[in-house]
Chains A and B, each alone.
Chain A
Amino acid sequence: MRILVVEDNDLVADAIARGLGIAGFAVDRAPSAELAATALAAEHFDLAVVDIGLPGEDGLTFVRRLRRQGATLPVLILTARETVAMRVEALDLGADDFLMKPFEQTELAARCRALIRRANLNTNGQLNFGRLRIDVAGRQLRIDDKPVELTGREWLVLECLAFSAGRVVSKERLQQTIARWDQAMTPNAVEVYVSRVRAKLADAALIRTVRGLGYRLDEPEA
């Protein structure tokens, strides 16, 4: 997975590059929008991390230009100056996520993984999460390349959680998802299905319960 970091501040760019490198990404750096455009034209990247406050052409203008040219790679915007208007503008322009400085390296890495995961799902119907390989089109789950059998409802639960991996999925949403199969679904039944999926995933992935809110699919704790 290759990421282009577009950031003019060396201190920040270096930290991001190292952090993402440790997280397992290949990272290239570009200190300006012009150089970033050249890099993107020449090679393939899975994701661009773009700072708003670039010298010359600023980050938002750069993203707008990218989208106009038809580039589909996911873009994560970094900013030191947060306003609601700016966040809305960035997302409207075609940025996929938005992160405030200062941020934690782990947070940045997690967001990058989620963006790339979503992009992959869109392009080839594959959803990879840690040791899980989810073939959405073929309705198949593999853990470490071994296929795992899931019933219809268990599959819906996993799919729903995996699409939003790393984010909390409310119990109501799970209930509605499964209720298409069975109108008489109760919240308690959701718990039953979640625990069955949990058992089948074993130690390959963690379905975390967030009390009072719902569930979140996480990579297993080290």
Chain B
Amino acid sequence: MSLKLDPTTSIHRRLLILLLPPLALLMVAGGFADYRASMVFMRTAYDQSLADAAFAQAALLKVVDGRIYAQLPLQPQPLAHAYRAEKFYYSIWGPDHILITGNPQLPAASAGEGNLTYADAWLGSHRIRVVTYRVATAAGVATVNVAETTSRREAARHFILTSTWLMDFILVDSTLLLVWIGVRYGLKPLLAVRGQIESRSPRELRPLDTTEVPAEVRPLVDALNGLFEVLREAARAQRQFVADAAHQLRTPIAGLVGHLELLTQDPAAAELESRLCMLRDGMSRVAHSANQLLALARAEPSANLADRFQDTDLVPLVERVIERNVDRSVKARLDLGADLDAASVAGSAWLIEDLLGNLVDNALNYTPAGGHVTVRCGGGQSAPYLEVEDDGPGIPEAERGRVRQRFYRLPGSQGHGCGLGLAIVEEIAGLHRAGVTIDAGAGGHGTRIRVQFPALRAASQGKTANTVTP
């Protein structure tokens, strides 16, 4: 059988397609064979009793003066009590086709091997079974025909057919069910591996658990784990490089920023003030970028921080971030405030602080003097969230997707920034399985960025549970 299966067909389906139809055919063929065998036995048994009747008739033949006579009364005794509904017929012919007695309409079974032959025939509207016994007498060959109607045989045949069919039906069904269950349970370890992979966050590079992996899939899982290892190592090296580079940059940057800050305030350099201011701002941006690169390196998925997540209260965290930014907001003539409600998440406190720091940083950078920036948290443990709202110029709806990309900045945007802020926010939110939504603020003005964290308990359960629900 050449079955063309799409290579992507699931193994489950493939096994069922390959097993079920041939099995079903085999079962039906087996049933048919059973039926045939039973029919042969039944027919032989009934024919035998019909033959007995023929022998009995033949035994009553007498030859007188070269002529054959049948002794009367002639009644096929063995059959009489067997089945009342059955009708019996007989005829006895002498040599030269002379009817000795019986029904002349009764056909004879054609001659064959031996002197006992059987045939199915019709008598009027009755279907009959005829046995013909050719018996040699002193006066030549007499032909004894005995026939019965077939209602008994029909009933037996019907019974055999029904019972075989029923048995077959039960067998086929239960076999199919067993195959289906077998395939399902046989593939369970494979599904468990699939579940293990599916339940992981795509950023997770932890090796897969191989303790319950079947031998056939083991090499595949081992290869995957090898690949994870390589990726982990590469990510670690990259992170290390970025971190080292950022650290190396920080000390000279600190010196340059310090001097430029002092120079811009130095009366002796008053003539150069505008140029020094440009230099200072440029240097601040370099410093900021170095910090951001470092934050990004720390937040990379490979850092595998999910393992070290702890229950974190967002309220003191927000307070710290706001406190750090009060001076900046005063300088920029912005009203930085908070609206705090209980909120706890499973996460890394300093990463979330980085996240919020970036959101506040953006809001302070892009909101013009006189504006308001409000940081909110709330949602308790079931739907904890962080939110930063400003009444600045806002982000046009079309740009809301792109501002999340690294190094992307809004066209014509003012203020410091290297375009990493929201990328870092996205990265950290992703690690915490939190969703980031960008909207307009109250009344359609400004920007409102909300980070919606998963429920505290559900998040910590999801980390440990590797159970698969098929």
A-B contacts besides A80-B254, A106-B327, 14 pairs, CB < 8 Å: A9-B255, A14-B259, A18-B258, A18-B259, A19-B258, A19-B261, A53-B251, A80-B247, A101-B254, A102-B257, A104-B257, A106-B261, A168-B319, A212-B340
Contact indicator B374/A168 (Cβ below 8 Å): no
A114 to chain B, nearest CB (A): 13
A18 to B254, CA, bound (A): 14
Residues of B within 8 A of A10 (CB): 255
CB distance from A134 to the nearest CB of B (A): 22
Q: How far is the CB of A163 from the nearest CB of chain B, in Å?
A: 15
- Find B247's partner among A15, A81, A167 (CB 8 Å cutoff): A81
Q: Which residues of B contact A105 (CB under 8 A)?
A: 258, 261-262
Query: Is B339 positioned at the interface, with any CB of A under 8 Å from its CB?
Result: yes
Which of A103, A104, A210 has most B Cβ within 10 Å? A210
- Contact check, B350 vs A84: say whether CB atoms are below 8 A apart: yes
CA–CA, A167 and B252, complex, Å: 29
Chain A residues contacting B252 (CB-CB under 8 Å) are 9, 11-12
A190-222 CB mask vs B (1 if < 8 Å, else 0) is 000000000000000000101111001000010
Question: What separation, in Å, do the CA atoms of A176 and B254 have in the docked complex?
Answer: 41
Q: Does the CB pair B251–A80 fall under 8 Å?
A: yes
Question: Please, what's the 1-or-0 string for B230-269, where 1 marks a CB less than 8 Å from any CB in chain A?
Answer: 0000000000000000010011111111110110010000
B193 within 8 A of A: no
Point out the residues of chain A lying under 8 angstroms from B337, CB to CB: 210-213
Q: Give the nearest-CB partner of B257 in chain A.
A: A102
**Using a CB-CB cutoff of 8 Å, which residues 75-106 of chain B contact chain A?**
none
In the complex, B323 has a CB within 8 A of chain A: yes
Any A CB within 8 A of the CB of B53: no
Residue pair B262, A211 in contact (C-beta under 8 Å)? no
List, in ascending order, chain A residues with CB within 8 A of B220's CB: none
Q: Can you sample 15 A-B contacts with CB below 8 Å? A: A10-B255, A11-B252, A15-B257, A15-B262, A18-B258, A18-B259, A80-B247, A81-B250, A103-B257, A210-B337, A211-B337, A212-B337, A212-B338, A212-B340, A213-B337
CB <8 Å contact, A103 and B254: yes
- Chain A residue with the shortest CB-CB distance to B243: A81
- Whole-angstrom distance from the CB of B348 to the nearest CB of chain A? 9
- The number of chain B residues with a CB under 8 A from chain A is 30
Interface flag for A177 (CB, 8 Å): no
Least CB distance from B232 to A in Å reads 20
Also in contact, A212 and B258, with CB within 8 A (given A80-B251, A101-B251)? no
Q: How far, in angstroms, from A12 to B319 measured CA to CA in the complex?
A: 31
- In the complex, the answer to whether A212 meets B250 with C-beta atoms within 8 Å is no
Contact indicator per residue, chain A 12-48, by CB within 8 Å of chain B (1) or not (0): 1011101100100000000000000000000000000
B residues at A contact (CB < 8 Å):
247, 250-259, 261-262, 265, 287, 290, 319, 322-323, 326-327, 330, 335-340, 350, 374
Residue from the list B255, B287, B322, B340 in contact with A12, Cβ < 8 A = B255
- Interface pair B265/A168, CB less than 8 Å apart: no
Bound-state CA distance A20–B336 (Å) is 28
Contact in complex: B262, A212 (CB < 8 Å): no
Minimum C-beta distance from A14 to chain B (A):
7
Question: Is the beta-carbon distance between A15 and B255 smaller than 8 angstroms?
Answer: yes
B255→A212 contact, CB < 8 A: no
The residues of A that contact B251 with a CB separation of less than 8 Å are 9, 12, 53, 80, 101
Q: CB < 8 Å: which of A19, A107, A170 contacts B262?
A: A19
Whether A211 and B335, one on each chain, are in contact in the complex, defined by CB atoms closer than 8 angstroms, is yes
Q: Which residues of B contact A53 (CB under 8 A)?
A: 251
Bound form: Cα–Cα A41–B173 in Å: 96
Give the CA-CA distance A80 to B290 in the complex, in Å: 11
What are the 10 tightest A-B residue pairs by CB atom distance, in nearest-first order? A211-B337, A15-B258, A11-B255, A212-B338, A102-B254, A101-B254, A80-B250, A12-B255, A102-B287, A212-B337
Contact yes or no, A101 B253, CB < 8 A: yes
* Contact pick for B319, options A84, A208, A213, CB 8 Å: A213
A4–B398 Cα distance when bound, in Å, is 54
User: Do B254 and A212 touch (CB < 8 A)?
Assistant: no
CA distance A170 to B330 in the complex (A): 18
**What B residues does A18 contact at CB under 8 A?**
258-259, 262
Interface contact B323-A168, CB-CB below 8 Å = yes
Given A11-B252, A84-B350, A212-B338, decide whether A104 and B265 contact each other with a Cβ distance below 8 A. no
Measured between alpha carbons, how far is A80 from B319 in the docked complex, in Å? 25
Contact of A212 among B259, B327, B374 (CB under 8 A): B374
Given the complex of chains A and B, what is the CA–CA distance between A81 and B258 in angstroms? 18
Residue of A18, A81, A107, A212 with most partner-chain B CB within 10 A: A212
User: Which chain B residues lie closer than 8 Å to A212 at the CB level?
Assistant: 337-340, 374
Name the distance in Å between B28's Cβ and chain A's nearest Cβ: 72
Chain B nearest CB, measured from A153 CB (Å): 24
The distance in angstroms between the C-alpha atoms of A135 and B67, with both chains bound, is 161
A210 touches B262 (CB 8 A): no
User: Cβ of B250 and Cβ of A101 under 8 Å apart?
Assistant: yes
Within the assembled complex, what's the spacing in Å between the Cα atoms of A105 and B283? 14
CA distance A167 to B340 in the complex (A): 18
Per-residue CB proximity of A49-83 to B under 8 Å, as 1/0? 00001000000000000000000000000001100
- Nearest CB of chain A from residue B10's CB, rounded to whole Å: 47
Given contacts A12-B254, A12-B255, A105-B261, contact A208 B247 (CB under 8 A): no
Q: Which residue of B lies closest to A87 (CB)?
A: B350
Chain A residues within an 8 Å CB radius of B257: 15, 102-104
| A22-B262 CB under 8 A given contacts A81-B247, A212-B339 | yes
For residue B262, which residues in chain A have a CB less than 8 angstroms away from its CB? 15, 18-19, 22, 105
Residue of A nearest to B252 (CB): A11
Residues of B within 8 A of A216 (CB): 326
Beyond A53-B251, A101-B250, whether A11 also contacts B322 by CB under 8 A is no
Q: What's the Cα separation between A62 and B319 when bound, in Å? A: 33
CB distance from B337 to the nearest CB of A (A): 3
User: In whole Å, how far is B353's beta carbon from the nearest beta carbon of chain A?
Assistant: 10
- The answer to whether A15 touches B323, judged by C-beta atoms less than 8 angstroms apart, is no
Closest Cβ–Cβ distance, residue A87 to chain B (whole Å):
9
Inter-chain CA distance A22–B262, complex, in Å, is 9
Complex Cα distance, B265 from A143, in Å, reads: 29
